Chains A and B, each alone.
Chain A
Amino acid sequence: MHLGGIEISIQALGTLAVAAALIALQYVIFMRTQIGRQLRATAQDRQMAQAVGIPASAVIAATFGAGTALAGIAGALLANQFFVYPTGGIPLSVYAYIAVVVGGWGSIPGAVIGAMMISIFQVVVSAYVSYAVATGLLYVSLLLIFFFRPQGIFGELVQRRV
């Protein structure tokens, strides 16, 4: 398919569409539904959540399952584009971790922005400098972000009650 002067494969568009739909779905569930409220409550204060009747262990298990399912879908989407091998998930999980931390824990928009940042460095920056240097630059910019905003881009600065 042609858009302007760029050729985009239908595959890439499909991946984008599926990812966008799932992320939007996750955002709606987390932020706008009662179940999402229960999930967030359990994350913030597990004992208190149990005290108001939320089955914390079930909630955590469900969240773990949902997260794994999303990872599986991501893998399936990527499998069309990249070589598949048993340990191929390891570097990706590292990038996922980086994206979440940079975006701020518990923030879905933050995670998306973090992921975008990593992709930009991996694809755009490494087109101009070598891949290794691009990774180094990514790392340095991460450190800069943490220096100025230790809670991540959208994270909340949580202070422990003394």
Chain B
Amino acid sequence: MASWLLAGIRLPLILGAAALIVYAVFFANPYDLRVLTLCGIYALLVLGFQFVFGHAGAVSLAQATFFGIGGYITGILATRFGFPFLMTFPLSIAGPSLLAVIIAAPVLKLEEHYFSLATLGIGLVVLLLAIQWSEVTGGTNGLAGIPAIELPGFVVADRRSVLWFVWGIVAVACLLAYQMTRGLHGQAYHLMRENREAAASLGLNIAELRFGAFVLSAAYGGAAGALMAHVIHVVSPENLDLTLMVTCLTMTVIGGRTRIAGAILGATLIVYLREWFRVLENYYMIAYGTVALAVLIAAPYGLVGALERLRVFLFGRGPAAPTVVATAALPAAARKKPVVAQEPLQEPLLEPLLAVDEVALAFGGVKALDGVSLSCKQGEIVGLIGPNGSGKTTLLNVMSGLYSCQSGRVTFLAHDITRAPAYAIARLGVARTFQHIHLVDDLSVLDNIAVARAGIDGGGLMQAIGTFGRDRRLEGARRIALAAADRLGIAGVAMEPCGSLPYGTRRRVEVARALATGPRVLLLDEPAAGLNEQEQVDLADRIRTFGADGVTVLVVEHNLVFLAALAERLICLDRGKVIASGLPEAVRREPAVIEAYLGLDADVPELALTAGPS
């Protein structure tokens, strides 16, 4: 218990919360109670915004709109139809959520700027509706006289009760947010916002994750709006406009984009800044703006992040999390278990496992792939070589589903996966690594590898919410991750953050991550790049053991030395066409291959191993 309290900045946060509670109970006058209540409402708004902006990494500018819609639903239903709180509140949550579901389909496909713009556009339209449709919404003046919250048998009328009620809802919302973003689910989001291609190639359904985050943000926003309507008894177009959106954005960025404590801290700070600077009357905007800007420059990752950095600076890093000790004590036998977690095939397949048939892909005028056909049998280790620009990585991208070919077919285990999305191909059992390393620097090696199970083991939002206490899925994922790390010889640095590791080790983390999905086919894109000779020999040995476990490996490489001992078969690409295929010695002697690498004037009998082409 003591170690839990002392970890990170929990203790100062808990003390701060206790101080605020004491203040609210004993020292606050009704005005202060109102201010604290507003802090709670904004905290709820920011919590919702953190799902889509912080966790999913998408700048949605519709959060204020959802807030306003929730408020208007409550206002309209309560004043014009007399619905009680227990009906208006769920409807105020359902309304914005429904809107989010409707607009999510076209809008979420858009990239960054366009997504923000689309959400901004929705805000504009709704704002105009609120102003123009005055019979229903009360026009620019809005609706007044919204009653207090009425629960059966009890009216939440005085300011103290309202305060506890609002913060009670905030507490539930915090708990829900914590459940949804802990464990594998949260780490999946982390990887997704750092690098979408890597996340998709691990079996994570990006569209689904973003959709969930977007709808959740709408739900939280609607709830906050409904509470605001009951607290200030008025709803007006000001609840919908850009100014509120900017305030929400400010609170989120200042507090911390992904931290629950950050939501509360950011909301409270901004609300109180306005109160404190009220003394300056007309100049309060200048002071408020200056302070907000100063905090942003001083703490670009939010206040919570800054506080944690301060703690590390003053007191040093705390003890490592207890989960490490548990997993590090795995018996040696368990760690040698092959990581092929999927069902092994019953009989050895005679037909090719993964096949590409006359695939063509052109970018503008450049034919990256010009009718490429190849296939891999189960358990084979195939090398794919070729000079720069020959289309090797493009072929890998087509096979793993990141690119769509313009003609031809890709089949895997008799499934046609030509048009399948990347995450579906990954879940079928095709894993890959990338030429440029795509790891999450902030997470430890173990967690970077463990995230590979998030897409494979499935389990979505509902399961994440229902997990209390020990997170067994996370522990299981970490066990598999440790085994994969062991296969790559990096179990010793499992707890180090990835950002601090040398290049060669990071390469191996990437391979381990691909291995942890339990694939049948492993596509490696230049795994030996940047490794020294010893590391290369070591990696080649390890890859050979994967083949022995029945995993088919396709290695894209320039480095013939690396491939010489490893590959059973070589395929050479040049300018999008296969120019040679067969045993390594034969391919190295093939005149077309020598010409592709060394040019027409080259007068060598075969591509030498020692002076490999760069």
Q: How far is the CB of A136 from chain B (nearest CB, A)?
A: 5
Verify if A59 is at the interface (C-beta below 8 Å from B): no
| B-contact bits for A65-94, CB 8 A (1 contact / 0 none) | 000000000000000000000010011001
Verify if A98 is at the interface (C-beta below 8 Å from B): yes
Cα distance A159–B451 in the bound complex, in angstroms: 25
- With A101-B114, A150-B111, A150-B114 in contact, is A142–B121 under 8 Å at CB? yes
Cβ of A94: which chain B residues have Cβ within 8 Å of it? 120, 124, 242
Cα distance A143–B125 in the bound complex, in angstroms: 13
CB atoms of B118 and A105 under 8 A apart: no
| A-contact bits for B55-97, CB 8 A (1 contact / 0 none) | 0000000000000000000000000000000000000000000
Verify if A147 is at the interface (C-beta below 8 Å from B): yes
Main secondary structure of the interface of A (DSSP, over half): helix
Beta-carbon contacts under 8 Å, A119-162 to B: 130-132, 135-136, 139, 142-143, 146-147, 150, 152, 159-162
Contact of B118 among A90, A142, A162 (CB under 8 A): A142
Cβ of A64: which chain B residues have Cβ within 8 Å of it? none
CB atoms of A97 and B118 under 8 A apart: no
CB atoms of B106 and A147 under 8 A apart: yes
Q: How far is the CB of B241 from chain A (nearest CB, A)?
A: 8
Cβ of B342: which chain A residues have Cβ within 8 Å of it? none
Cβ of A146: which chain B residues have Cβ within 8 Å of it? 106, 110, 114, 118
Verify if B197 is at the interface (C-beta below 8 Å from A): yes
Cα distance A64–B201 in the bound complex, in angstroms: 38
CB atoms of B397 and A105 under 8 A apart: no
Contact of A98 among B110, B111, B121, B128 (CB under 8 A): B121
- With A101-B114, A139-B121, A146-B114 in contact, is A162–B397 under 8 Å at CB? yes
Cβ of A132: which chain B residues have Cβ within 8 Å of it? 125, 128-129, 131-133
- With A94-B124, A139-B125 in contact, is A162–B117 under 8 Å at CB? no
Verify if B470 is at the interface (C-beta below 8 Å from A): no
CB atoms of A136 and B125 under 8 A apart: yes
CB atoms of B125 and A130 under 8 A apart: no
Cβ of B423: which chain A residues have Cβ within 8 Å of it? none
CB atoms of A150 and B110 under 8 A apart: yes
Verify if B435 is at the interface (C-beta below 8 Å from A): yes
CB atoms of A143 and B106 under 8 A apart: yes
Beta-carbon contacts under 8 Å, B535-576 to A: none
Cβ of A90: which chain B residues have Cβ within 8 Å of it? 242-243
Q: How far is the CB of B172 from chain A (nearest CB, A)?
A: 35
Contact of A135 among B114, B125, B242, B434 (CB under 8 A): B125
Cβ of A142: which chain B residues have Cβ within 8 Å of it? 117-118, 121
| B-contact bits for A109-122, CB 8 A (1 contact / 0 none) | 00000000000000
Cα distance A97–B114 in the bound complex, in angstroms: 10
| A-contact bits for B435-468, CB 8 A (1 contact / 0 none) | 1100000000000000000000000000000000
Cβ of A136: which chain B residues have Cβ within 8 Å of it? 125, 128
Cβ of B435: which chain A residues have Cβ within 8 Å of it? 162
CB atoms of A160 and B243 under 8 A apart: no
- With A90-B242, A90-B243, A143-B106 in contact, is A97–B111 under 8 Å at CB? no
CB atoms of B113 and A162 under 8 A apart: no
Verify if B393 is at the interface (C-beta below 8 Å from A): yes
Contact of B402 among A91, A98, A139, A162 (CB under 8 A): A162
Cα distance A111–B594 in the bound complex, in angstroms: 50
- With A150-B111, A162-B435 in contact, is A130–B118 under 8 Å at CB? no
Cα distance A160–B393 in the bound complex, in angstroms: 13
Contact of A162 among B120, B124, B434 (CB under 8 A): B434
Cα distance A161–B109 in the bound complex, in angstroms: 19
Cα distance A131–B124 in the bound complex, in angstroms: 12
Q: How far is the CB of A99 from chain B (nearest CB, A)?
A: 10
Q: How far is the CB of B95 from chain A (nearest CB, A)?
A: 18
Best-buried of A91, A130, A146, A150 by chain B (most CB within 10 Å): A146
Residue of B nearest to A95 (CB): B124
Beta-carbon contacts under 8 Å, B105-164 to A: 106-107, 109-111, 113-114, 117-118, 120-122, 124-125, 128-129, 131-133
Beta-carbon contacts under 8 Å, B148-205 to A: 197
Cα distance A48–B585 in the bound complex, in angstroms: 41
Cα distance A159–B434 in the bound complex, in angstroms: 15
CB atoms of B434 and A97 under 8 A apart: no
CB atoms of A131 and B132 under 8 A apart: yes
Residue of B nearest to A139 (CB): B121
Cβ of B436: which chain A residues have Cβ within 8 Å of it? 161-162
Best-buried of A90, A142, A162 by chain B (most CB within 10 Å): A162
Q: How far is the CB of B479 from chain A (nearest CB, A)?
A: 30
CB atoms of A143 and B118 under 8 A apart: yes
CB atoms of B128 and A135 under 8 A apart: yes
Cα distance A26–B239 in the bound complex, in angstroms: 38
Residue of A nearest to B402 (CB): A162
CB atoms of A105 and B242 under 8 A apart: no
Cβ of A98: which chain B residues have Cβ within 8 Å of it? 117, 120-121
CB atoms of A97 and B117 under 8 A apart: yes
Q: How far is the CB of B38 from chain A (nearest CB, A)?
A: 22
Residue of B nearest to A144 (CB): B106
Beta-carbon contacts under 8 Å, B245-273 to A: none
CB atoms of A162 and B242 under 8 A apart: no
Cβ of A147: which chain B residues have Cβ within 8 Å of it? 106
CB atoms of A131 and B128 under 8 A apart: yes
Cβ of A131: which chain B residues have Cβ within 8 Å of it? 128, 132
Residue of A nearest to B121 (CB): A139
Q: How far is the CB of A111 from chain B (nearest CB, A)?
A: 13
CB atoms of B120 and A97 under 8 A apart: yes
Cα distance A130–B133 in the bound complex, in angstroms: 11
Cβ of B434: which chain A residues have Cβ within 8 Å of it? 162
Q: How far is the CB of A81 from chain B (nearest CB, A)?
A: 22
Residue of B nearest to A102 (CB): B117
Q: How far is the CB of A122 from chain B (nearest CB, A)?
A: 12
Cα distance A52–B128 in the bound complex, in angstroms: 49
Residue of A nearest to B396 (CB): A162
Cβ of B111: which chain A residues have Cβ within 8 Å of it? 150
Query: Which are the 8 A-B pairs with shortest beta-carbon distances?
Result: A132-B128, A132-B132, A139-B121, A101-B117, A136-B125, A135-B128, A162-B197, A139-B125
24 A–B pairs (Cβ distance < 8 Å), ordered by A: A87-B243, A90-B242, A97-B117, A101-B113, A101-B114, A105-B113, A130-B132, A131-B128, A132-B129, A132-B131, A132-B133, A135-B128, A136-B128, A139-B121, A139-B125, A142-B118, A142-B121, A143-B106, A143-B118, A146-B106, A146-B114, A150-B114, A152-B114, A162-B435
Beyond contacts A91-B242, A162-B397: 16 other A-B pairs, Cβ-Cβ < 8 A, are: A94-B242, A97-B120, A98-B117, A98-B120, A132-B129, A135-B124, A139-B121, A142-B117, A142-B121, A143-B107, A146-B106, A150-B114, A159-B363, A160-B197, A162-B197, A162-B436
